[in-house]
Amino acid sequence: MLEKVREGLLSAIHRFIEKNVIDEAAIKDFIRDIQRELLQADVNFRIVYQLTKNVESKLLEERTKPGISLKESAIIILYNEMIKIMGEGEK
């Protein structure tokens, strides 16, 4: 099951990265793709909503750091938000 989630999220990321222009519409498409993949994997709706809300707001509101593209920033933000929700695991 986790393999299917992984493949779905990678697919959503690849579709986002392949876009020529990253604008608000591309970001919203990226968010919908993430939501679709997580909901198909039976992730709780509230968790999906909170995760994607956080990712979307950070992508739309925050400016990227120098040397990091918006595409790279989106992946970093998604990763960090997923870590917050899922936890960092055993240490």
DSSP 8-state assignment for residue 37: H
pTM for this model (two decimals):
0.82
Residue by residue, pLDDT tens for the chain (91 residues) are 678 888 888 999 999 999 998 888 999 999 999 999 999 988 889 999 999 999 999 988 876 677 788 888 889 999 999 898 877 655 4
Q: Residue 9: enclosing H or E segment and its boundaries?
A: helix 2-17
State both tokens at 32: 């919908």
Q: How many CB atoms lie within 10 A of CB 86?
A: 11
Chosen CATH of 2-86 out of 1.10.150.120, 1.20.120.140, 3.40.50.2300, 1.10.10.10: 1.20.120.140
pLDDT at residue 11, rounded to an integer: 92
pLDDT at residue 88, rounded to an integer: 60
Q: How many CB atoms lie within 10 A of CB 63?
A: 7
pLDDT at residue 31, rounded to an integer: 94
pLDDT at residue 18, rounded to an integer: 92
